[in-house]
Amino acid sequence: MNVATAPIVAAAPLNAAPLLEIENYSGSFRARNGDLTPVLYNVSLQLKTGVITAVVGETGSGKTLVASSILGIQPATFVRTSGRILLGGVDLVSLDEKGLRKIRGGQISMVFQDARAALNPMFTVGRQLADVHQRLHGSGKAEAMEAAVDAIRRVHIPEPARRARQYPHEFSGGMAQRAMIAMAALICEPQLLILDEPTTGLDVTIQSEIMDLILELSRSRGLTTCLITHDLGVVAATCEEVVVMNAGRVVETGSAETIFTAAKDGYTRKLLAASQLGEMAA
């Protein structure tokens, strides 16, 4: 077995209990004149504890909207019309801003597509990681900076102490994405890590390095991970469970193996055929 790609600990069993469950979640966008346009239709899915679940589907299918609904950061014009989002029995949609703030960054953290935009250009990368560490864990200044440098080291950025003193514009795109992963997966110490297209816009070689890093961190920390991606090649290499979305609906869910070898849904088969994966399904 190739040591570099070997999982650090075994994947959680696929019959693991769900950490997060979305049940019949529907919603619409409200236009200026008050008209509602439905965009999500009875979305139901489970994120099993310790498992990496992919959410796939073409552009506009509702992936980001579902992820941002979990964190309560959906656009202000989005109106939920039905459904629940349960984390350990608590319905997140019933929480107020204060309750959601406790969950965000603590139990659930998210990595966005554009890392550089998520970092504040005015502060060094180390300072930003340290600030979040202080806020979440009540650590002192020196301890928080130590944790920041350690997190930068653990996402394999060379010379972490020097890099911690740099500003985001001094980082490459891949490095900025590593810094955001350090923030979301290591500094926040979440139970659930959501990554929305974390490698879009990066060179292909950098993309695969970032995916290796995500896999390493998810496995070694037993994180429940939700990976939103267009790339079915990434899904095949990384994920145990797959949720397929199309036009605001979940059209198929199952183990990656089942989806790649015996997809039932016509849209899933089309996606697989387009990506030249899952010949059996095409």
Closest to ligand ATP by CB, 57 vs 160, is: 57
Binding-site partner at residue 65 among Mg ion, ligand ATP, none, CB < 5 to 8 Å by type? ligand ATP
Angle (deg, nearest 10), helices 204-221 and 173-181:
10
Does the footprint of ligand ATP cover residue 256 (CB under 6 A)? no
Interface pick for ligand ATP out of 48, 51, 63, 118 (rule CB under 6 A)? 63
Does the footprint of ligand ATP cover residue 62 (CB under 6 A)? yes
- C-alpha–C-alpha distance, residues 226 and 215, integer Å: 11
- Which residues are near Mg ion by CB under 5 A? 64
Does the footprint of ligand ATP cover residue 43 (CB under 6 A)? no
Stretch that binds ligand ATP, among 60-68, 144-152, 171-179, 181-189 (CB under 6 A): 60-68
Residues in the chain: 282
Q: What residue number has its CB nearest to Mg ion?
A: 64
Please give the torsion angle defined by the CA atoms of residues 256, 258, 262 and 264, in that order, rounded to the nearest 10 degrees: -90
Stretch that binds ligand ATP, among 59-67, 101-109, 181-189, 205-213 (CB under 6 A): 59-67
Interface pick for ligand ATP out of 7, 60, 88, 99 (rule CB under 6 A)? 60
How is 55-79 classified by DSSP, letter by letter? EE--TTSSHHHHHHHHHT-S-TTEE
Does the footprint of ligand ATP cover residue 75 (CB under 6 A)? yes
Considering only residues 16-35, where is the footprint of ligand ATP by CB under 6 A?
29
- Are 42 and 36 spatial neighbours (Cβ–Cβ below 8 Å)? no
Task: Count CB neighbours of 47 within 10 A.
Answer: 25
Integer angstrom CA distances of residue 209 from 44, 57, 206: 32, 23, 5
Task: Count CB neighbours of 248 within 10 A.
Answer: 20
Interface pick for ligand ATP out of 26, 64, 166, 255 (rule CB under 6 A)? 64
Binding-site partner at residue 60 among Mg ion, ligand ATP, none, CB < 5 to 8 Å by type? ligand ATP
Does the footprint of ligand ATP cover residue 59 (CB under 6 A)? yes
> Angle at the Cα of 243 (from 100 to 5), degrees rounded to 5?
95
- C-alpha–C-alpha distance, residues 63 and 95, integer Å: 22
Interface pick for ligand ATP out of 11, 12, 39, 100 (rule CB under 6 A)? 39
- C-alpha–C-alpha distance, residues 253 and 94, integer Å: 26
249 in helix, strand or coil?
Answer: strand
Interface pick for ligand ATP out of 28, 53, 61, 69 (rule CB under 6 A)? 61
Stretch that binds ligand ATP, among 61-69, 140-148, 216-224, 268-276 (CB under 6 A): 61-69
Smallest distance from the beta carbon of 154 to Mg ion, in angstroms?
27
Residues in contact with ligand ATP by the rule CB under 6 A:
29, 39, 57, 59-65, 75, 77
